[in-house]
Each structure stands twice: as structure tokens, then as C-alpha cells.
Amino acid sequence: MEATYELLSSQPFLAGLTPAQLDKLSYWTRKSTFHAGTRLFEEGQRADRFWLLREGHVTLDTHVPGQGTQIVETLGPHAVLGWSWLFPPYRWHFSASAVETTLAVELDGPGVRDLCARDHELGYELMRRFVEVVVQRMQATRVRLLDLYRMPS
């Protein structure tokens, strides 16, 4: 547990959690490495984990008929990858690929959900952090929806 505890304590996303909370999370944590081109998950598959990226980049993508596979977003170091494990139906909405060798901390979704259900204080701390990530990505998406670089009409 020592190694995973150390890994978690160095993650900006988890900054501020107590040692006891990190210790609990460390039971559901493992290191993961993805080589360039590795598919981390596929749209529609069961979403049962999430990652805190340490190095490298991962793309989220989806297939658009007639346009091929389109990248939706790129995530890099310190980003959180995956929130579909949080809510039913626990299915990935997009697919993900490693752009380059990517190091991450992987957490087990059902395990962390169960932990949050039993420890509401830890659950609140995690939800607050996830909501912040979701809000940031939603705001970034709204700006992209404006299509600011299009040819002026």
C-alpha cells in the first residue's frame, strides 16, 4: 500500500485529503502504463475505473459516420480521465487512446463508489473535486460551441 499511498499523495487532484482518506483510497489504486496507441476503453463498454494522469496524453474520441474517428478532447498530466463510472448506467460515453507513453494512477470505480457510500466525508471531498473538473470541461466545451474561429458571416 505504501507505493500507492505515495502515488496518491502526489496527485494535485487529491491535494487536501487527509492521510487516512488517502490510505482508504490506496486499497483501490494501482499504477498503470499505456503505450502509444493503446485503447484505454471503448464507447459503450462498462465504465469501472478512472485514472489520474501523471505523464503523457490521452485522447477522447468518437466515431462520426462519414467523418471517421474524431478527437473530442486531449487530456494531459494532472487531468482526471473518466467519470462515467460515477453514475448509472456506468458505460463509457466516448473512447480513449494513449497518444504517447502515458503513466497514470488507476482507481477502481465500484470500490471507490462503495468507499464514498460508507464514508460521506471522503465522498463529499471526491464529488467536489469531480464536479470542479466537470464544470471546467463544460465551460471549455461551451466556448468551443461558439466556434470562435469560423469565418465571420
Partner 1 sequence: MTPLRYRVRRRLTETADTVTLVLDPVDEPIVAPLPGQFTMMYAFGVGEVPISVSGHADGGIVHTVRAVGAVSRAVAGARTGDVLGIRGPFGTDWGVPPGGDLVVLAGGIGLAPLRPVIRQAVARRARFGTVAVLIGARTPADLLYPHEYATWRAAGLDVRVTVDRADMSWTGHVGVVTTVLGALPVDPAATTAFVCGPEVMMRFAARALVDRGVPPAAVRVSLERNMRCGVGLCGHCQLGPLLVCRDGPVVGWDRAAPLLAVKEL
Instruction: Tell me whether the omega of the peptide bond preceding residue 89 falls within 30 degrees of 0, making it cis.
Output: yes
User: Of 88 and 152, which has the nearer Cβ to partner 1?
Assistant: 152
**Residue appearing with cell numbers 487512446:** 97
Instruction: With beta carbons less than 8 A apart as the criterion, state whether 45 and 39 touch.
Output: no
**Closest CB to partner 1 among 90 and 130?**
130
DSSP state of 66: T
Pure H helices in 27-145? 109-118, 120-145
- Contact set for partner 1, span 45-104 (CB under 8 A): 57, 59, 61, 67-74, 76-78, 97, 99
Binding mask 10-49 for partner 1 (x = CB under 8 A): ----------------------------------------
Other Cβ atoms within 10 Å of 51 Cβ, number:
22
| Chain positions contacting partner 1, by CB under 8 A | 57, 59, 61, 67-74, 76-78, 97, 99, 140, 143-144, 146-152
